[in-house]
Every structure is written in structure tokens, then in C-alpha cells.
Amino acid sequence: MPKCIIDGREVEFTPGQNLIEAAKGAGIDIPLFCYHPGLSVVAQCRMCAVEIEKMPKLQTACSTLAAEGMVVKTKSQKTVENQKSVMEFLLANHPLDCPICDKSGECDLQDNSYKHGSAYSRTTEERRTYLDLDMGPVIKKNMNRCIHCTRCIRFGSEIAEIREMVALKRGNNTEITTIDGRPLETDYAGNYADICPTGSLTIKDFRFKKRVWFLEKVPTVCEGCSKGCNMEIHQDNNQIYRCVPRENKEINHYWLCDEGRFNFHYVEREDRLLDPARTKTSGLEVCDWASSIDLAKAALAGKNIAILVGSDLTQEEAAAVLQFKEQHYSQASIYHFGTPGILSTRDDAPEDRILKRKSKTANLNGLEKLGIRGFSKLSADVTGLLIIRGGRATLPADIDGVEKVGIGVFMKDQALMFSVILPGLSFAEKDGTILNYEGREQRIRRALQPPGQAKGLSEILMMWANRKTSHGAA
Ligand code: SF4
Ligand code: SF4
Ligand code: FES
């Protein structure tokens, strides 16, 4: 590997890497604003300028490729003076509102100001001010805080493939906006807030709900479709506040779609059934676990059973169901379900040119690999259904007229179609393995403790198997 010298240290780099990435590989952070590894390089903010031997002027590290033998200084007097000047220039028009800004604690401007700026201001001029503006359902804009790095503009045109963010006017009056102030249209709008290095673009769903330093970050995988984008769940006190992308250059790079980002809300819906229950004509009646399992077994006793498993289950859960079927309902047929119109991986395909896929569950491929076929319609001889789902799989249509028992995550209105419901865990409450559309094996991780009386699937199946009732086997 070629080598260069950064701050007196010999640093190996991959040909084609810029100085920011080469330095990062050696643990040296060069401050920056406009550079983002997933976007084109524009070298606009000048914050990353460094001294390079034999070059008369400072050079921007984001737009300079590392070269064999290059000698770079990121902390020389000239470099530090430039950083201070850039910070002073950027802050000349920035409000002093970090204490009330939602980006506080994860703001590049705040961090760089603290590390590389000056503690004193020489300006006496009034800051320019704008009102906060809605940019559609996902993003709120505060132009007072914008530093015109153009990351958002480049994200729109280069990644979201929609040129919806533009810079209007010039100089002190430059304003980032959508054309004619229209709402953002992309299905990937949350990423605008992730990449904005200041509090100019924030997510409406999250802003002012929690200070970021209170959040525990759990690395996991999105369950929103068969792509398997990597993300983090941010939770505090057993409540999810947001999901953000986690870099994986092989799958989602740095991005998440909005559907996957906000999917977690069903986990905390007030109408989620968290107690074992049975349905009576008067509605749902909460029961204890032992009697619910007895009722579930009684409901299916003597029936010709089919087992339907959501393709939102993990490999471990699906394998446990297969074993349970062999031991206790060996005559039953078993199928998977999850997305209307998607019966197998052959029906799955990209939904757009960015990330989204047509299968709206994460483990369709995994269930097929376990030999489970897709459910198309109820055969006439089936008289009982055991339906097991995580929470994301869409319940199949046209399954009326047979006895039904449900295990997993159900809302109360969904629960009314079942005789008995045994509440299970969502993707955020369990560990497990899923296979994305291309067969990549990934782990989802538990971020929350099980809510209410909900239990893991293997525990429920074990209780079912071990409970002796007057209804005979299983
Ligand atoms: S809104 Fe944010 S991302 Fe866009 S130019 Fe301003 S600071 Fe940069
Ligand atoms: S593309 Fe699919 S896996 Fe990725 S964030 Fe969206 S829903 Fe989740
Ligand atoms: S990060 Fe290099 S000029 Fe902005």
C-alpha cells in the first residue's frame, strides 16, 4: 500500500482516497462541513484545508487525493489559523441558540466551534433571521442555522434522484429551499436531517422529544423490506425515539428510506395487544397465560390445521415453528405470508432505484431457504389456522370462516378476528438472524425489554408443548 506522512506519522492509504479518509484511517480527524463520503466533493466550506509540503497555499483535504510521499500537516499554525477564520466566518451569521437547538450534542458546527473556533466574537451586526418552515411531513427547516454546505442539495440530486433542494439568492442572502417552497417529495427525506451538519434541517417526528446524549444506540437491521438496511435504534427508558442509518457500503451506504425509518412506531402503539386474550361477542377478554394456551389448544383441537408464518419472523423463530409443527401438528401444512402479491422471492424486485424493495418484510428469503412456501389461498379442507407474525407482515386476506389462533404482534382491531391471541415480540424486542434478498445473513438486536406480558416465540411454543390439557396431543 502507498504511504504518505500526516502530522509526522507514516500513513498507509488506498489509491484514490482523499486526505480526509487517509487521515481518518490513521485516527487523525480533519474538521469538515461540506464533505460527506456518500456525496460528490465540492470543497466549499474550506474547513478541511491543510498544509502540504511544496505547495504554497493551503489545500482542501476533501478534494486532494493522498499521494505517495506526500507530507501533510493538519495542525500547523497556518492550518489552525484557517480553521479559526472559517469558524468565525460561519458563525458571523449563526444564532447563539445551541441550548435550544435539537441538533445540540451531535452538531458538527457546535463540535468544530468548540474544538477549532474562538471563544470570542468580533461581530456586532444583527444576524439574519427566518421563520421555521415545514418542508412536508418529515422535515422542519430553520434557515438561521444554515451554513450553506450544500450537502442537502447534493443528496437530493445525487442520491434521492430528485432535484428538490436549491440555493436561492446569493451571498449573505443565500437561502436553501425547495423550488417554490413546495413540500419535499422524496421517500428518503429523513436523510436530509442526518447529513445536515447543523440544526437547519431536523426531523419533525423526533425534534424536542429527547436530548441525544440520553439515547442508547443499538445497532440492528431495518425490517421494512427485503433490502436489510443497517440502522441504529435510539432508545431511552424502554421507548424508541428514532431510527438512524448505520453505514454499510454493501447494502444501504449511509441512507434509510422514510418507510423503514419510521416503521418502529407500531411497536409502541397504544392499541397493541400486550396481554394474552380471547375474543368473545362482547370483545377482547384478557386471560392469564396458562388459560390462554389451554383455550388456544382447545380452539384448534380436532381441526385440520394450516400454520401461516409471517416472513417477518427470524430464522431462529421459523426453525422453532418447524420443529413445533413436526412434534405436535405433523399433519399440518405450513406457509409464509407478508406482502400482498409477493408469494416468493421470484416476485420480489426493486421498488425504486435507491433502496426500497417490493417485499415489505425482511426475511422472505430466509423462510424460503427453510423450505416454507408462500400462502396463496385457503384450501377447502383447512378448518383451523395458527397464524404467527412479528408485526410487519400483512395478514392474508380471505381467511374467514375457520377457527384462528394468533401468536405475535397484533393490534386490538386485528385481534378480533382470532379466537385467542398470545402476544409476542416485535423486531425491536428480540435478537435473531434474517437473510436479505441477496442472501446476506444479518442480525437484528434487542433494543427494548418485552412490553406488558408479551413473550418470545420459543417460550410460547415451549409453554404450548409442555401444557397438558384435556384436548389431547400438543
Ligand atoms: S440546510 Fe444543512 S445541509 Fe443544507 S446547506 Fe444548510 S447546513 Fe448544509
Ligand atoms: S429500503 Fe427497506 S430495509 Fe432499507 S430502510 Fe427502507 S424499508 Fe428498511
Ligand atoms: S470539507 Fe473540504 S472544503 Fe468543506
pLDDT in tens, 187-226: 999 999 999 999 999 999 999 999 999 999 999 999 999 9
Residue pair 277/264 in contact (Cβ under 8 Å)? The answer is no
By most ligand atoms within 8 Å of CB, the mutation choice from 19, 45, 89, 112 for ligand 3 is 45
**What does the pLDDT average to over 159-176?**
93
Report whether pLDDT(472) > 50.
no
What would the mean pLDDT of 124-150 be, rounded to a whole number?
94
Distance CA 332, CA 334 (A): 7
**What is the distance between the alpha carbons of residues 419 and 295, in angstroms, rounded to a whole number?**
8
Residue 228 beta carbon below 6 angstroms from any ligand 2 atom? yes
Mean pLDDT of 238-253: 98
pLDDT per residue as tens digits for the range 365-397: 999 999 999 999 999 999 999 999 999 999 999
Determine the Cα–Cα distance for residues 10 and 178; give it in Å rounded to an integer. Answer: 45
- Dist. CA 71–CA 78, nearest whole Å: 15
Q: Mind listing the pLDDT tens digit for each residue in 409-460?
A: 999 999 999 999 999 999 999 999 999 999 999 999 999 999 999 999 999 9
- Which residue, judged by its Cα, is nearest atom 1 of ligand 2? 356
User: What tens digit of pLDDT does each residue of 335-346 get?
Assistant: 999 999 999 999
Q: Is 356 in the pocket of ligand 2 (CB under 6 A)?
A: yes
According to the model, what pLDDT value does residue 470 have?
A: 54
* Grid coordinates of 150: 450544500
Is the CB of residue 432 less than 8 Å from the CB of residue 444?
A: yes
**Predicted local distance difference test score (pLDDT) of residue 395:** 97
C-beta of 39 in contact with ligand 1 (< 6 A): no
Judge if the beta carbon of residue 454 lies within 6 A of ligand 2: no
**Model confidence at 105: pLDDT above 80:** yes
Q: How far apart are CA 365 and CA 317, in angstroms?
A: 14
- Cα 93 to Cα 81: distance, rounded to the nearest angstrom: 20
Confidence of residue 121 (pLDDT cuts 50, 70, 90): confident
- Average model confidence (pLDDT) for the chain? 96
Distance 195 CA to ligand 1 centre (A): 8
Q: What is the pLDDT of residue 471?
A: 52
User: Whole-angstrom Cα distance, residue 93 to residue 272?
Assistant: 47
Residue 51, C-beta contacts closer than 8 angstroms, at least 6 positions apart: 58, 59, 72, 73, 74, 76, 78, 79
Judge if the beta carbon of residue 20 lies within 6 A of ligand 3.
no
Res 96: pLDDT: 86
Q: Could you give all domains of the chain from N- to C-terminal order, each with its CATH number? A: 3-91 (3.10.20.740), 97-108+124-208 (3.30.70.20), 277-466 (3.40.50.740)
Is the distance from the beta carbon of residue 60 to the nearest atom of ligand 3 less than 6 Å?
Answer: yes
DSSP summary character for residue 400: T
Q: How confident is the model at residue 469 (pLDDT cuts 50, 70, 90)?
A: low
> Closest Cα to residue 220, out of 252, 172, 186?
252
Which of 191, 232, 355 gets mutated to test ligand 2 (max ligand atoms within 8 A of its CB)? 355
Q: Which of 45, 17, 21 lies closest to 32, judged by CA?
A: 45
Q: Tell me, what's the pLDDT at 474? A: 43
Residues 6+ apart with CB under 8 A from 419: 278, 279, 295, 296, 299, 403, 404, 405
Residue corresponding to grid cell 420443529? 323
Is the Cβ–Cβ distance between 410 and 330 less than 8 Å?
no
* Sequence-distant (≥ 6) Cβ neighbours of residue 175 within 8 angstroms: 130, 143, 146, 167, 168, 169
Task: Give the ligand with the smallest distance to the CA of 220.
Answer: 2
How much of the chain exceeds pLDDT 70, in percent? 99
| 100 pLDDT tier (thresholds 50, 70, 90) | very high
Q: What are phi and psi of 14, to 5 degrees?
A: -90, 135
Distance 463 CA to ligand 2 centre (A): 34
State residue 387's pLDDT score.
Answer: 98
Higher-confidence position of 473 and 86: 86
pLDDT band with cut points at 50, 70 and 90 for residue 120: confident
| Ligand 2 atom closest to Cα of residue 251 | 4
pLDDT tens digits along 34-59: 999 999 999 999 999 999 999 999 99
Contacts of 441 (CB under 8 A, 6+ apart): 433, 434, 435
Regarding the beta carbon of 33 and ligand 3, being less than 6 Å apart is answered yes
Ligand 1 atom 4: residue of nearest CA: 152
Shortest-distance ligand to the CA of residue 142: 1
Helix or strand holding residue 466 (H, E): helix 457-466
Residue 244 Cβ < 6 Å to ligand 2: no
Ligand 3 within 6 A of CB of 62:
yes
Q: Would you tell me how many other CB atoms lie within 10 Å of the CB of residue 180?
A: 5
Sorting pLDDT into bands at 50, 70 and 90, what band is 473?
very low
Measured by CA distance, the residue closest to atom 7 of ligand 1 is: 146
